[in-house]
Chains A and B, each alone.
Chain A
Amino acid sequence: MPILEFKDVSKTYNNVTKALQEVSFSIEEGEFVSIIGPSGAGKSTLLRCINRLVDASSGVIIFDGQDITDVKKKELRKVRTKTGMIFQHYNLVDRLSVIENVLHGTLGQKSTISGMTGHYTEEEKEKAFGIINELGLADQAYKRCDELSGGQKQRVGIARAIMQQPKLILCDEPIASLDPKASKTIMDHLSNINRNKKITCIVNLHQVDVAMKYSERIIGVAEGRIVFDGPPEQLSEEMIHQIYQSNSSDLITDVGYAQ
């Protein structure tokens, strides 16, 4: 049984922008899937439909055997605890320490009061330190996040997601703001988590080469539609051009400019 299934999912913003158009696919437990496509293609929208930061306009989304398309508050909270999310701009609370940010991963499972006052059990703290250690941030645990480098911040983001003990991790351009070395560290960590903790990963990526290297499956999105879905070996040069609409559109602008 797939962990995630999209059936004809569409999303239209403000009744005009068609960000997703009848998208269907399914993902098996434990897969590492990259989503590639030009900016504005709908990658972030697709990812956010999964944890309902964005509500789909039509279609059905099934996650972990449950139709989550219309689930309400309490149930939605439960769904979100099962999906971790990693962002391009890390989205940490910069003025709080690393350990506090990582512990935010437990909020979904806590009572409102203990979450509000930041009361965490010894067990939770130990677990957080364990994860921080695994990600090589032991020396930074008590530092404020605004003192960290981009690569370190993203590792805190990953730690926060793992802290949730999710079944699925959604990564929205996790390396788009990082230098090549930090990018490699982050991608290696994601890859390890996928393999060792058996957590399914869906990663939005800008860089085709990174997608080819790390994922066992690539989904190509253009103008809100899936135009490619398969293993990296099948992704031809031609297909890449089609996804990024680079060949034809470049040609048109060139001609227009010459005249």
Chain B
Amino acid sequence: MKLNKDTENVFKKRKITYTIVFVGVLIVYFIASTVTKFHLWDGLVSIPKAIVWMGEKLVPDAAAMAKLPKILKKLFETALLSVAVTVIAAIIAFFFSLLGSKTTKVNGIVNRLVRIVAAFFRNVPDVVWAMLLMFSFGQNILTGFFALFFTTFGLLTRAFIETIDEVSSSCVEALDATGATFIQTVFQGIIPASITEIITWVLYMIETNIRSSTLIGMLTATGIGYLFDLYYKRLDFASAGLIVISMVVLVITIEGVSNRIRKVIQ
């Protein structure tokens, strides 16, 4: 009898929770759309028009195709920059994450400090970093490099700390117990235990950074972003469209390659 009542209460509670959440979301939506003057219906209606426009204007023509080598060269540069930034940031982030991880028990204060620094770098968007850095470096490839570097570093440090704490704390305890030194524990325990997750994170960040670097390139007048901005402002939509298509192809290719790599290292 008592059990039945309890069960009933559990279900009642759940129903109430769902209702509250649903109503809450509706209210937030109405407030937000009123304030921002965004109307979902109008937005939806304009989608077909946008697609028609893109179909008419963004389709590459013969003139655009002539620019393909130039586009591919810039795209290649941008991709290489993203890979370089990600790899360098990952190496530095790994050493920082050792200091920030609870598993290694380096030092409580260092621990907290690393986490705060990483959070700071991570939470400033890369585009904002680019705009800030433009003051010191100007419209320069370095600006883009550091903007990507900072966010990637912040993000990977946090991801690595979590990975290390999750997958290697038990073997670190065991290696400590054998009398191994800190460096031995890192190379014989932490790295082999977490390398797969670390590589997965790095591959993911390379994909993300190729996308981001396009946007940053528009600001800093470098790489593929610059080229896109240039064509767009010249109203050469056909060439701009070609850039979009080649970028999509590149990102999908890279996703495919990293999926393959992930399977191999499993």
Contact = CB atoms under 8 A, between A and B. Distances in A.
A164 B180 CA distance: 11
B177 interface: yes
Chain A interface bracket (under 10, 10 to 19, 20 to 34, 35 or more): 20 to 34
Given A91-B173, A96-B192, A112 B178 contact: no
Given A93-B188, A95-B195, A116-B188, A107 B180 contact: yes
- Tell me whether chain B's interface is mostly helix, strand or loop, or mixed: helix
Nearest to B189: A93
Contact of B174 (A87, A115, A117): A87
Interface in A60-114: 76-81, 83-85, 87, 89, 91-96, 104-105, 107-110, 112
A51 interface: yes
Contacts of A51: 177
Contacts of A115: 180-181, 183-184, 187-188
A53 interface: yes
Nearest to A89: B170
A96 B188 CA distance: 9
Contacts of B176: 53, 80
Interface in A216-255: none
Interface in B171-214: 171, 173-181, 183-184, 186-189, 192-193, 195-196
B4 to A, nearest CB: 18
B187 A164 contact: no
Given A117-B187, A118-B187, A95 B180 contact: no
A93 B193 contact: yes
A87 B175 CA distance: 12
A160 interface: yes
Interface of A: 51, 53, 76-81, 83-85, 87, 89, 91-96, 104-105, 107-110, 112, 115-118, 157, 160, 164
Contact of A104 (B175, B183, B196): B175
B186 to A, nearest CB: 8
B187 A81 contact: no
Interface residues of B, number: 21
A169 to B, nearest CB: 11
B172 to A, nearest CB: 9
Given A93-B189, A115-B188, A104 B173 contact: no
Nearest to A106: B178
Given A87-B173, A108-B178, A160-B178, A95 B184 contact: no
Contacts of B189: 93, 104
Contact of B192 (A81, A95, A109, A117): A95
Interface in B22-71: none
Contacts of A78: 179
Given A81-B178, A104-B178, A116 B195 contact: no
Contacts of A85: 174, 177-178
Nearest to B184: A115
A112 B170 contact: no
A109 B178 CA distance: 9
Contact of B178 (A95, A117, A164): A164
A186 B188 CA distance: 26
A104 B173 CA distance: 12
Given A104-B188, A107-B188, A116-B187, A93 B171 contact: yes
Contact of B179 (A81, A87, A96, A157): A81
A118 B184 CA distance: 9
